[in-house]
Amino acid sequence: MVTQSVDTRLALLRAAERLFAQDGIDSVSLRRIAAEAGQGNHSAVLYHFADKKDLVNALLERHSSSIEAGWTVAVQHLAAEGRDTLPELVGLMVRPLVAKLDDPDGGTDYLLVVAQLVTSRSFPLAEMPATMAPGILALTAAMMGRMERVPDELMPLRMMRVAAALYCSIADFHRMTAMGMEIDRGAFVDDLIASLTGLIGSDPRQWASR
């Protein structure tokens, strides 16, 4: 019985991420998710998740938990070796996320969903409990530690801008390559790391007098 419940929950998550990625989070009803997952009773979603926000957060946790666990260890390792430079930290953030494009179990859908959340008014990414996982906090803190020139009150906005650029860029890369455009993934990753490094580390004061 427990196994059946776990299987149903996973089926609902897989259905939700497919539909959210395809049609948008706000446009997809819980009833439709249940039907997509093969559940005759639309209340099956509410049995496993408190509401749509809880479902979205569970979707994030399903895909991000292994990534953020790796970040926890890697950030400590880089710091111990004195290699926790901003480009290294940004690379640590970017590479496993781009690698999710190769995950056949909803990896691309997950990235497309997160790209929606960074600009969502209904389900803002910053308000999702999954974004408070230890590895995410450790990596964010390490990168913010390289933002000495950015006023404290601007740091949260800067990091949200980084998240938008990160996930929307990956989503754009996926869409463009899916349309047949030939874009070397290694070159894309290097360019994204360079762009985000510049975005995170740029000094707003250099423009103040212009």
Contacts for 40 with CB less than 8 Å, ≥ 6 apart: 34
Mean pLDDT of the chain: 93
Examine the pLDDT at 210 and tell me if it is beyond 70: no
Rounded average pLDDT over 133-155 = 90
Q: What is the pLDDT of residue 1?
A: 46
* CA atoms 40, 46, 48, 52: torsion sign: positive
Q: Is 104 exposed, middle or buried (0-12, 13-18, 19+ CB in 10 A)?
A: exposed
Q: Which CATH class is domain 1-49?
A: mainly alpha
Q: What is the pLDDT of residue 43?
A: 87
158 HSE (CA, 13 A, CB side): 24
- Find which of 41-45, 118-122, 151-155 is predicted with most confidence, using mean pLDDT: 118-122
| Residue 171: other Cβ atoms inside 10 A | 20
Reported pTM: 0.93
What share of the chain has pLDDT > 70, as a percent?
95
Q: What is the pLDDT of residue 208?
A: 59
Q: pLDDT band at residue 207, thresholds of 50, 70 and 90?
A: low
183 HSE (CA, 13 A, CB side): 18
Q: What is the pLDDT of residue 42?
A: 78
Residue 143 vs residues 72, 123, 146, 198: alpha-carbon distances, Å: 13, 25, 5, 12
| Residue 94: other Cβ atoms inside 10 A | 21
Write out the two tokens for 47.
């049995």
Examine the pLDDT at 66 and tell me if it is beyond 80: yes
